[in-house]
């Protein structure tokens, strides 16, 4: 039996948002108010990730004073440096940065000759201990060739709630799945990218499995892939048993397993809490990932299972 580590590792699930902005960059609420609202909404942790550019003072916001016995924070930033194929700067999410992480030469959101590339910046963040994700590929107009260069990334941001409500470009699945099919061992994150100037908050999150709700334990679990992403439904187990993938979850109307290319298998019903899908429907894909959809259209997504 092969079980995703999120469901086999010890601990419990903690709900958190990994992409958030405040008045330290282009958000409309002060850091303490952003933290207060996420805690009041029932989140266990938050990463405040203001834009790491010179015009905002290269902020890695100190959210330690807003931690409580039931709510914690991870230090982070949305970093920008180097140019993509469309001529725009990279957006790279880094969670778990040290507070003295050295800034790139990025005075604003315009590319500057000679500044470090997105790949170099991502690699430097990983070396400093951060969990790094390629942010909102569809919103950024990212090409597959662009994405291939960020070899240090742990994850792809596959759902961005702010991009969903602000421009109907929330998606990172196409880029993610192509990279998986090239052998990249990436995980998937859903986030808010909340700025609080529109209803861009409390729409996508990660459920991280860890033995305690501490920055150190959460960061280690993120790097290990011990989490799943959701807009509402709960995943309770995902594992391979013989020639099937078994999904246990809160009540859903659809369960899907997808793999390389057009490989996919699905089933539909009412209030399903346990589903078995045959691997034969995945056409020999080396990987699969699971999506469940509740009757309101809300989704949850597993990280990939590698079949070979």
The phi, psi pair for 245, rounded to 5°, reads -105, 130
Grouping H, G, I as helix, E, B as strand and the rest as coil, residue 144 is helix
The whole-number average pLDDT for the span 104-133 is 97
Distance CA 20, CA 35 (A): 10
DSSP single-letter state for residue 89: B
Confidence grade of residue 1 (pLDDT, cut at 50, 70, 90): confident
Average the pLDDT over 225-242 and give the result. Answer: 97
pTM reported for the whole predicted model: 0.97
140-195 tens-digit pLDDT? 999 999 999 999 999 999 999 999 999 999 999 999 999 999 999 999 999 999 99
- The DSSP line for 11-53 is SEEEEEE--B--TTTT-SS-HHHHHHHHHHTT-SEEEE--EES
Residue 250: in which H helix or E strand, if any? strand 244-258
Q: CA–CA separation, 270 vs 75, rounded Å?
A: 41
CA angle 139, 141, 144 (to 5 degrees): 120
**Distance (Å, rounded) from C-alpha 137 to C-alpha 255?**
25
**Candidates 2.60.40, 1.10.10, 1.20.5, 1.10.3470; CATH matching 235-306:** 2.60.40
State how far the Cα of 307 lies from the Cα of 297, in Å rounded to an integer. 28
Question: What is the pLDDT, as a whole number, of residue 71?
Answer: 98
Whether 116 contacts 122, CB under 8 Å: no
- pLDDT given at position 55: 98
Residues contacting residue 69 through CB under 8 Å, at least 6 positions apart: none
Structural domain spans, the chain? 2-230, 235-306
What pLDDT was estimated at residue 283?
Answer: 85
Question: What pLDDT is stored for residue 308 in this prediction?
Answer: 79
Query: Cα(115)–Cα(125) distance, rounded to whole angstroms?
Result: 15
**What is the pLDDT, as a whole number, of residue 198?**
97
> How far is the first Cα of the chain from the last one, in angstroms, to the nearest whole number?
14
Q: What is the mean pLDDT of the chain?
A: 97
pLDDT digits (tens, 9 = 90+) for 85-112: 999 999 999 999 999 999 999 999 999 9
User: What is the tally of helices (H) and strands (E) in the chain?
Assistant: 8, 17
User: Rounded mean pLDDT of 228-244?
Assistant: 97
Residue in the block written with tokens 């290319």: 261
User: Which option is the CATH number for 2-230: 3.20.20.140, 3.90.1170.50, 3.10.290.10, 3.30.360.10?
Assistant: 3.20.20.140
Give percent above pLDDT 70 in the chain: 100
Q: How many other CB atoms are there within 10 angstroms of residue 8's CB atom? A: 13
Tokens standing for residue 171: 């998606």
CA distance 282 to 294: 23
Report which DSSP code applies to 20: B
Task: Write the pLDDT tens digit of every residue in 22-60.
Answer: 999 999 999 999 999 999 999 999 999 999 999 999 999
* pLDDT exceeds 90 at position 246: yes
pLDDT in tens, 257-291: 999 999 999 999 999 999 999 999 998 899 999 99
């Amino acid at each position: 039996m092969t079980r995703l580590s999120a469901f086999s590792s010890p601990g419990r699930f903690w709900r958190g948002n990994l992409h958030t902005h405040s008045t330290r960059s282009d958000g409309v609420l002060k850091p303490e108010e952003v933290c207060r609202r996420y805690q009041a909404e029932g989140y266990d942790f938050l990463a405040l990730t203001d834009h790491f550019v010179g015009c905002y003072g290269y902020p890695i916001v100190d959210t330690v004073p807003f931690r409580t016995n039931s709510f914690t924070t991870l230090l982070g930033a949305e970093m920008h440096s180097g140019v993509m194929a469309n001529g725009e700067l990279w957006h790279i999410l880094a969670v778990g940065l040290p507070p003295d992480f050295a800034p790139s030469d990025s005075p604003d959101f315009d590319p500057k000759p000679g500044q470090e590339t997105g790949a170099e910046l991502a690699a430097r963040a990983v070396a400093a201990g951060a969990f790094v994700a390629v942010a909102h590929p569809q919103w950024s107009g990212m090409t597959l060739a662009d994405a291939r260069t960020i070899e240090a990334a742990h994850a792809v941001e596959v759902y961005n709630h702010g991009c969903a409500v602000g421009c109907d470009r929330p998606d990172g699945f196409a880029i993610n799945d192509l990279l998986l099919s090239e052998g990249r061992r990436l995980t998937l994150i859903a986030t808010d990218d909340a700025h609080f100037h529109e209803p861009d908050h409390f729409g996508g999150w990660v459920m991280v499995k860890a033995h305690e709700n501490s920055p150190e334990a959460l960061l280690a679990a993120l790097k290990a892939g011990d989490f799943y992403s959701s807009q509402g439904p709960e995943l309770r187990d995902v594992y391979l048993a013989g020639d099937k993938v078994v999904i246990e979850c809160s009540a859903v109307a659809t369960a899907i397993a997808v793999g390389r290319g057009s490989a996919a298998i699905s089933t539909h019903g009412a209030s399903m809490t346990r589903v078995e899908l045959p691997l034969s429907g995945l056409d020999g894909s080396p990987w699969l990932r699971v999506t469940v959809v509740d009757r309101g259209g809300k989704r949850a997504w597993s990280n990939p299972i590698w079949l070979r």
